[in-house]
Amino acid sequence: MIYKETGQYKSSYKSDHAIFPLLQDKIAFSTLMFIAFLIIPFVINSYWEKAILVPFLIFSLAAIGLNILTGYCGQVSLGTGGFMAVGAFSTYKIMTYFPDMNIMIIILISGLITAAVGIIFGLPSLRIKGFYLAVATLASQFFLVWLFNKVPWFYNYSDTGQITVSERTMFGIPVTGAEAPSYATYLFCLVLVVTLSFAAKNLIRSKMGRSWMAIRDMDIAAEIIGVPPLKTKLSAFAISSFYIGVAGALYFAVFLGAIEVTESFDIMTISFPVLFMIIIGGLGSMLGSFLGAAFVVTLPIGLKFLMVDMVGLSAVTAKHFEITIWGLLMIVFLIVEPHGLARLWSIAKEKLRRWPFPY
């Protein structure tokens, strides 16, 4: 009843191929965009910005990146942390050398640099697949973090090895640095995430996306119909790394402000959580990337609220519980719904279509 698609006829291939073919989806999306752009910026406070919204947006972007590579092109990667570090350090170095450059341009260039690095580390994917490729990308994770740690040029020879962002403005309002207001950092991330999400969705629904999925599902058949495997896999690595690089740049410049590479881009703090996001959210689903990011970002906050504020456990005990529950949820998810939250959502839509008269 609520989610009724009968009567919505498509009279052209264009409307049939739209991103949101159903009226209900269009309304829901427009409402969401209205709230995100025109309401939240006026009510946002520092807690919501730092704890929930900005990390959610940044990790959504990283999850989209990894989902392009793993979910759509079928190449498992554990190097997300390393690639995010490339984005962060590129931003830092460009900021040092070009103090007057616009922050938006800096971040996009950092994405391009990460894409180039991604292509290099994607080269083994032509020869190795599956678990073996995962191990090869794991090497990139460790190598890149080691590189940024060992070569002082990357952190401008500072004593601590930390890199710190300087203030940059968009339209006269600071978006990086300690002085940046909450709404500015939030809107800056939001604009980038929305634009890049549409770009990703467009790629996925056209030639590029179909080539990726063909390689994912059966590379031999893909080659027979004329999809070049090397080029297609490398394009997935490049575009995926671009998204992850932009996420890394935002993570450093807008979100944290100051980072230390081994701590911030560790495999346990970035690579695995982002992989969990796309598994929990749904491999090969744009919606899944967002749902997964939202789940992973809000779960610790929810659990902490439940255990510390409601039950009254000590913070340390709560942290232990959190890790346990986290692992448990992972297992439950993989057993009960291996296709993730996106699949749950499409089941819910199926139910809503019939509600309240399931025959």
The residues binding another protein (CB under 8 A) are 12-14, 17, 199-200, 202-203, 205-208, 210-211, 213-214, 216-218, 220-228, 235, 239, 284
Query: Shortest distance, CB of residue 330 to another protein, whole angstroms?
Result: 23
What is the spatial distance between Cα 255 and Cα 354, in angstroms, rounded to a whole number?
Answer: 43
Of 139 and 344, nearer to another protein (C-beta) is 344
Who contacts 254 (Cβ-Cβ below 8 Å, separation ≥6)?
Answer: 54, 58, 175, 176, 180, 185, 188, 189
- Least Å from the CB of residue 223 to another protein: 5
Three-state SS at 259: strand
State the minimum distance, in angstroms, from the CB of residue 202 to another protein. Answer: 4
- Return the structure tokens found at 33: 């965009």
Query: Under a CB-based contact definition with an 8 Å cutoff, are residues 109 and 184 in contact?
Result: no
Cβ 186 to another protein shortest distance, Å: 24
Q: What angle do CA 108, 259, 241 make, to 5 degrees?
A: 35
Give the nearer residue to another protein in terms of CB position, either 40 or 204. 204
Closer residue to another protein (CB): 119 or 199: 199
Other Cβ atoms closer than 10 A to 182: 19
| Tokens representing residue 355 in the block | 């509600």
Whether the Cβ atoms of residue 249 and residue 62 lie closer than 8 Å to each other: no
- 332, with CB counted inside 10 A (0-12, 13-18, 19+), is exposed
Tell me whether residue 230 or residue 332 sits nearer to another protein (CB atom).
230
The Cα-based distances of 69 to 159, 312, 313 in angstroms read 37, 42, 41
Task: Answer yes or no: are the C-beta atoms of 254 and 175 closer than 8 Å.
Answer: yes
Q: Is the peptide bond before 358 cis (omega within 30 degrees of 0)?
A: no
SS3 173: strand
| Shortest reach from residue 227's CB to another protein, in Å | 6
CA-nearest of 164, 175, 186 to 54 is: 186
* Closest to another protein by CB, 217 or 309: 217
- Measured distance CA(25)–CA(21) in Å, rounded: 7
Which residue, 102 or 206, is less far from another protein as judged by CB?
Answer: 206
Instruction: List residues bridging with 169 in a β-sheet.
Output: 174
Nearer to another protein, 2 or 218 (CB): 218
Nearest to 64 by CA among 192, 228, 214: 192
Place of tokens 């929990």: 280
3-state SS, residue 78: coil
CB closer to another protein out of 39 and 230: 230
Phi, psi of 189 (to 5 degrees): -65, -40
Question: From the CB of 334, what's the least distance to another protein, in Å?
Answer: 18
Q: Given the complex with another protein, which of 181 and 229 has the nearer CB atom? A: 229
Pick the closer one to another protein by CB: 202 or 324: 202
> Minimum distance from CB of 273 to another protein (Å)?
25
What is the closest distance, in whole angstroms, from the C-beta atom of residue 204 to another protein in the complex? 9
Q: How far is the CB of 36 from another protein (least distance, A)?
A: 22
Supply the minimum distance, in Å, between the C-beta of residue 216 and another protein.
Answer: 7
